[in-house]
């Protein structure tokens, strides 16, 4: 109703955008208080246990729907320690305009960029550093930042605060600022085929633990075996366990992907500013620390504007920057990881 009221005499496409935005904001208002509170509580646990959410979602009379819905809004998610299990992540923009990626490169995330002349960008996995695509950027040290305090809980609107003038706050200053960091590869561990399947499923399919176990039954893994293998992987630090709100359900549907090159110290400072300035930010420095791949999630229909803004601002600051708005995305994380393990 509010979207139609605001529409007046504008084009039909504008009305559609207003409706989507209004629905997103309404959902954020409805779920934000509870989700933010629970996410903040779970993020403060130094070493969470698998299935911890069940202990924190109250089971009162009439709360059945809430108990079912919450695990899908607030995901139980495994972030693999890629280097520790012998895999290398890489970022690659194929040189062909057709956007076709050879099958031998094990693609996990394929992004169609908004400008058709720029083709696609991919993030893939490889078992050996020398078997990644030419001119790709090998990555390490992935870090995910979800700053929930940037959500205005009364209106459901996400705020941004990115600039080079104000002092950058730290995640320790806010209880609801979730930071997820990949384990360092102090030593490499070898995985059995069962362990590879469980790790790939935990990364590719965030959600309730029962959902993953149901999927793994199709891989001929009994429920008890899947649970035992998962616990073993966790003890050996093959992944880190975190609880993260679903970014799209929270209204952060647009995506910007960016490759930034510059001095190591300046890139690290930029990393902190980006994490503080945007609600959802994933940063991955290159192996040589001279470049960084950044993924930013932003509200509906703002990605193209944000990509152009970051391109201009960071270039003015001396960074060699390539920023793109993502028009569509296809994920094949389970198949990509399994293919990389078996190469």
**Using one digit for the tens of pLDDT, what is the confidence trace for 189-228?**
999 999 999 999 999 988 777 777 777 777 778 888 888 9
Percent of the chain with pLDDT over 70: 83
**Using one digit for the tens of pLDDT, what is the confidence trace for 121-143?**
999 999 876 678 888 899 988 99
* E-strand stretches of the chain: 74-80, 88-92, 106-113, 120-126, 137-139, 143-147, 151-152, 157-158, 177-181, 239-245, 254-261, 280-285, 291-298, 320-331
Domain ranges of the chain: 2-75, 78-82+189-244, 88-181+246-331
pLDDT band at 322 (very low <50, low <70, confident <90, very high): very high
Predicted confidence (pLDDT) at residue 145 exceeds the cutoff of 90: yes
The number of beta carbons lying within 10 Å of the beta carbon of residue 180 is 18
| Three-class secondary structure of residue 12 per DSSP | helix
| Three-class secondary structure of residue 288 per DSSP | coil
| Three-class secondary structure of residue 150 per DSSP | helix
Q: What is the pLDDT of residue 168?
A: 87
Mean pLDDT of the chain: 82
Q: What is the pLDDT of residue 1?
A: 43
User: Hunting for tokens 């995901």 — which residue is that?
Assistant: 75
**Using one digit for the tens of pLDDT, what is the confidence trace for 256-268?**
999 999 999 999 9
Starting from the edge strand earliest in sequence, which strands make up the sheet with 143-147, in order?
137-139, 88-92, 120-126, 106-113, 320-331, 254-261, 291-298, 280-285, 143-147, 177-181
CA distance 289 to 268: 9
Predicted confidence (pLDDT) at residue 83 exceeds the cutoff of 60: yes
């Amino acid at each position: 109703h509010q979207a139609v009221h605001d529409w007046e005499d504008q084009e039909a496409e504008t009305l559609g955008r207003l409706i989507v935005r209004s629905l997103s904001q309404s959902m954020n208002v409805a779920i934000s208080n509870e989700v933010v509170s629970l996410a903040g509580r779970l993020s403060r646990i130094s070493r969470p246990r698998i299935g911890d959410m069940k202990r924190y979602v109250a089971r009162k009379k009439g709360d059945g729907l809430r108990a079912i819905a919450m695990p899908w809004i607030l995901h139980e998610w495994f972030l693999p320690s890629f280097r520790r299990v012998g895999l290398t992540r890489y970022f690659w923009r194929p040189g062909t305009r057709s956007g076709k990626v050879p099958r031998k490169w094990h693609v996990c995330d394929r992004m169609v960029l908004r400008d058709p002349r720029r083709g696609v960008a991919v993030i893939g996995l490889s078992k050996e550093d020398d078997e990644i695509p030419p001119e790709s950027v090998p990555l390490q040290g992935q870090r995910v930042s979800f700053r929930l305090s940037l959500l205005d809980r009364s209106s459901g609107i996400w705020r941004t605060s990115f600039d080079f003038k104000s002092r950058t706050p730290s995640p320790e200053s806010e209880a609801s600022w979730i930071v997820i960091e990949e384990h360092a590869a102090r030593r490499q561990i070898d995985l059995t085929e069962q362990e590879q399947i469980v790790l790939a499923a935990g990364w590719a399919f965030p959600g309730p633990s029962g959902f993953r176990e149901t999927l793994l039954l199709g891989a001929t893994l009994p429920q008890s075996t899947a649970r035992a293998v998962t616990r073993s992987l966790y003890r050996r630090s093959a992944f880190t366990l975190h609880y993260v709100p679903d970014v799209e359900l929270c209204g952060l549907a647009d995506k910007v992907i960016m490759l930034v090159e510059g001095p190591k110290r300046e890139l690290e400072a930029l990393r902190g500013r980006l994490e503080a300035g945007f609600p959802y930010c994933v940063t991955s420095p290159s192996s040589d620390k001279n470049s960084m791949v950044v993924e930013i999630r932003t509200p509906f229909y703002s990605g193209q504007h944000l990509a152009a803004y970051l391109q201009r601002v960071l270039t003015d600051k001396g960074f060699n920057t390539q920023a793109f708005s993502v028009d569509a995305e296809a994920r094949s994380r389970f198949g990509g990881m399994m293919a990389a393990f078996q190469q």
